[in-house]
Structure 1
């Protein structure tokens, strides 16, 4: 049992990644940027209001900004960290050596995935003291804070697993990176556009009459990170989506189920295809 939990690939990748000073320099710069943004926001807000105190309503706005900054960090940096995990080994011609070890394909895939996303997890955890400063001014509950952190990690694992999947399927890192960023843009840009179209078509010609239920529209809203996090931060947004789609199914359940399935299926396919591609191109 202990040998199954032990993952030498993960241990090696973590040591190599955090042995360099660049990782800690990146954490330092990220924290400096977070501090500048938080204290700058507080200074500008109090200066414009002509007061010396920070209101709870303004604290909610600051928390929302920080959450979407964290979400943008996850969405745009994760593909760059994971899209070259397997294809990079293949390009350096070190993948056949890795496959001759006693490590299973699942251990290799999960080790590469976790070692890549751990840096972003470190950034999120390192920023928690700055991120939690909003509690000093009120307006934010610890439950909302924990929910935001949980769904950030769920999103991080899903996008990261897609990066590892494409890195396994494609031989070139450039192609896998394009596919990963394309998938991320589809979820973040194309899906909200389709959601608006479906809602407009669904409400066309109703003229005050309650529109029919739109399960497709509700599904698209639940799997879009921006719409979901907006509904998480503001209950009125979630209620508005339920009114537009006439579906009362909680968005957070759909989000967890969908991205949980994306993570599981991506890891499963990557595990199955890892050694197949090697045999095919011998």
Structure 2
């Protein structure tokens, strides 16, 4: 068991979960979700005068809560991970940490898992609000499980990107700017490229001649931008017919969740590998 122990992870968990700002952040996070759910229920039950809540309206609330929670997670994750290593460097405690018996892998993984643990706490704390949706129907448990698995993959990938920038940069502010820039690229720029590719594919002069049988010509670049966009995957989870519509647009029938999982798994491994290699780069250079 000692081989698998990680003192860095234990220390980070104790410091993070004992800090007042962690629980104040959790309270603020739940307060935002509570305001939205309460307002949504009030609008559809009292202000309309119907006095009941239809399953279709319940699904709309579930969809909006899921998108809102994804946006909050993507906004919070860089703030938790972008300063994991750079803050130690700024406080001049990184060299002390590197002189311990902990390996670079233990340090990087410990920092990452402590941040992910807090984010998982945020997601679990929001489950009671999701339970309200199940009271009115319209949502299957499999959709909820799929959404949370999507959150987990996304959080790990974003956390790895933040850890990487925190390791290769000397200032926390620079690391946070770079990480949030990566989030803007993942969330907004990829969507922009998808719509640009879609429009270019629909230009008559640029549209290739369909093959025999009338099937849609392949557009792998357009498919790739949609497959790595968290919003696109979220929409296909919430509205499965959109998956078929995307296949008709790009001509590629591979479910985007497969490409999303492969791509962000590779991103996670690459970012962690860079962070582990660069953590002691200056020490090796000085030697």
Question: TM-score by structure 2 length?
Answer: 0.93
Q: Does 1:277 align with 2:276?
A: no
Q: Which residue of 1 aligns with 2:242?
A: 237
Query: In terms of mean alpha carbon deviation, does 137-146 or 213-222 score higher?
Result: 213-222
Instruction: Quote how far apart the aligned CAs of 1:265 are.
Output: 1.2
3-state SS of 1:112 partner: helix
Change (3 A) 1:115 1:281: farther
* Partner of residue 150, structure 2: 151
The answer (yes or no) to whether the contact 1:57–1:139 under 8 Å persists in 2 is: yes
**Residues 203 and 211 in structure 1, CA contact (< 8 A), matched pair in contact too:** no
Match of 1:134 in 2: 133
Deviations 1:93-142 (A, max 9, x none): 11111011111100000101111222221111111111222111111000
Q: Which runs of 5+ in 2 are unaligned?
A: none
Q: Counterpart of 2:166?
A: 167
5+ long unaligned stretches in structure 1:
none
Q: Distance in 1 between matches of 2:14 and 2:85?
A: 18
Aligned residue in 2 for 1:88: 87
1:56-82 Cα distance to aligned partner (Å, 9 max, x none): 111111011110111111111111111
Q: Give the secondary-structure state (helix, strand or coil) at the position aligned to 2:264.
A: helix
1:256-271 matched pairs, under 5 angstroms:
256-271=261-276
Between the two proteins, the alignment pairs up a number of residues equal to 281
Aligned mates of 2:173, 2:30 — CA distance in 1: 30
CA distance in 2, matches of 1:281, 1:232: 50
Q: Aligned partners of 1:44, 1:62: CA distance in 2, in Å? A: 11
Report deviation, 1:278.
3.4
Q: Which runs of 4+ in 1 moved over 4 A?
A: 206-211
Q: The residue matched to 1:107 in structure 2 has which SS?
A: helix
Counterpart position of 1:28: 27
- Tell me how large the CA RMSD over aligned residues is: 1.7
Structure 1 Cα separation of the partners of residues 144 and 57 of structure 2 = 16
CA distance in 2, matches of 1:235, 1:49: 30
SS of equivalent to 2:253: coil
SS in structure 2 at match of 1:54: coil
In the alignment, what sits opposite 2:72?
73
Other structure's SS at 2:62 match: helix
Q: 2:258 aligns with which of 253, 256, 281?
A: 253
Q: Distance in 1 between matches of 2:39 and 2:47?
A: 12
- Calculate the TM-score normalised by the size of structure 1: 0.95
1:231: Cα distance to partner? 1.2
Q: How does 1:96-245 map to 2 (within 5 A)?
A: 96-205=95-204, 206=207, 211-245=216-250
